[in-house]
Amino acid sequence: MTLQPARGESEVTGINGGVGQRVVLAEIVDCSLSLPAPVRLGDAVYASRDYVALRLVDDMGTEGFAFGYTRGTPLAATLESVLRPVVGTRVGDRQGTLQRILSASPAVRPLLVRAASLADIALWDLAAKHAGAPLGDLLGATRDRVPVMPVAGYFRDVRGDESVIEEVAELERRGHRQIKLMVGDLSSPKAMAFLSRARDALGPQTRLAVDAHYSFATLPEAVRTARVLEDVGVALLEDPFVPTQWRRLRELHRGTRIELAAGEDVVDPVQFRDLLESVSVLRVDPTTCGGIRAALSGIEAASLRGVDVIPHVFTAVAAQLAAAYPIVTSVEHISSESGSDPIDRYFDAEIKIEGGEAIVDPRPGVGIHLDWERLRRDATSVVRIDAA
């Protein structure tokens, strides 16, 4: 199967999408934001949420934003190194810009892709603002509301099981029909007993998903756990193995009935093709796979195979993609009330969610509207790059 070119590239560059404007300034902030308690994802424990955010400014004073998780990598330093030749280039020359970034060194390609992803998102943000339209419209939006898959269960070890079960029941009352539950160690009997109680608290029309966060060491372990998850009523198992272990994922798919989801840490769009052989839900993340264009290639490949797509967090951007692609069946969302994704305190407004659906931001851009000065003040480091 050949990955098809994404829609929207010619539309953006052809509607005065910043083609003639040049980037004159880049600013990178590194942020380590405190959490109410450590976040536990599989075997990983995060005492804080660490982000890198990017601001590009062109010669008309228009700002383009992007941000992403560092995931323990020197993302800010890498982004600084690759952005120096970007400053001074034309906003509309996105593809050439990305190619120059990614050709720097194959030895560190995964980190370069993450850095290029943020550069690409910020450049698209600039282009969409110059076009005077939200990204979704430039891609051919057919809807302005998209279903939401909320993420529940953060800090269960502190809050207790009863609080989390009430949380998922309340999410169902608000209209959500698929809920992702953070559980931690899926192999323990306590976790399964908790999941059984959570499933019983929901109606039959609501699907329950869980995230393994790459915690399975072997295929037999994954098969055993998946079968128990089936028995307690879990519909979707996310990230049992890292994307490069797609052969194991394929064998798990053959050995169980549970639906599988994977793809959020893909760093080369070609990997989407491998995953599509085994998953019921493809996860795409523009901040990881190479930016907006790369994410669209995954979405369109999934569309050709009839595989649903649920983008990885970053709801505002994901909603723009979902507006144009019906194969994106829902967008993931971490509520501001949970305190587990504190970058949301720097947005100029909360994402509007009504009846289990997110309202797509109608403002020009990719959906990222940051209070940059406040974020800058709270950053652990700031780097500014000016045009020569």
Residue 29 backbone zone (phi > 0: left; psi -120 to 50: alpha; other: beta): beta
- In the prediction, which pLDDT does 115 show? 93
Percent of the chain with pLDDT over 70: 94
Here the tokens at position 311 are 């983008």
Express each pLDDT in 77-87 by its tens digit: 999 988 888 89
- In the prediction, which pLDDT does 13 show? 40
Question: What value does the mean pLDDT take over residues 50-60?
Answer: 97
- In the prediction, which pLDDT does 82 show? 86
Among candidates 284, 323, 274, which has minimal Cα distance to 138? 323
Measured in whole angstroms, how far is the alpha carbon of residue 269 from the centre of its chain?
A: 14
β-strands 308-309, 331-333: how paired? unpaired
Express each pLDDT in 293-322 by its tens digit: 999 999 999 999 999 999 999 999 999 999
Which comes out higher in pLDDT, residue 45 or 213? 213
Q: Is the pLDDT of residue 31 over 70?
A: yes
State the residue for tokens 């052809």: 14
Separation in Å, CA 314 to CA 28, 88, 121, 150, 199:
18, 28, 12, 12, 26
- In the prediction, which pLDDT does 17 show? 65
Question: What value does the mean pLDDT take over residues 24-48?
Answer: 89
Express each pLDDT in 190-205 by its tens digit: 999 999 999 999 999 9
- In the prediction, which pLDDT does 92 show? 85
Q: Is the pLDDT of residue 130 over 50?
A: yes
Taking CA 288 as the corner, what is the angle to CA 287 and CA 290, rounded to the nearest 5 degrees? 85
- In the prediction, which pLDDT does 4 show? 40
Among candidates 221, 257, 267, 266, which has minimal Cα distance to 240? 221
Question: What value does the mean pLDDT take over residues 148-177?
Answer: 96
Question: What value does the mean pLDDT take over residues 159-172?
Answer: 97
8 Å CB contact between 323 and 360: yes
- In the prediction, which pLDDT does 326 show? 97
Calculate Rg over the CA atoms of the chain.
Answer: 20
Express each pLDDT in 319-373 by its tens digit: 999 999 999 999 999 999 999 999 999 999 999 999 999 999 999 999 999 999 9
- In the prediction, which pLDDT does 98 show? 81
Question: What value does the mean pLDDT take over residues 251-262?
Answer: 96
- In the prediction, which pLDDT does 207 show? 98
Question: What value does the mean pLDDT take over residues 35-50?
Answer: 84
- In the prediction, which pLDDT does 184 show? 82
Q: Is the pLDDT of residue 69 over 80?
A: yes
Here the tokens at position 322 are 């979902």
Residues in the chain, total: 388
Percent of the chain with pLDDT over 90: 80
- Sign of the Cα torsion 83, 88, 91, 92 reads negative
Express each pLDDT in 213-241 by its tens digit: 999 999 999 999 999 999 999 999 999 99
Where does the pLDDT of residue 5 fall: very low under 50, low under 70, confident under 90, or very high at 90 and above? very low
Name which of 106-120, 162-176, 227-241, 329-343 the model is least confident about: 106-120
Q: Is the pLDDT of residue 6 over 90?
A: no
Where does the pLDDT of residue 12 fall: very low under 50, low under 70, confident under 90, or very high at 90 and above? very low
Here the tokens at position 5 are 């070119």
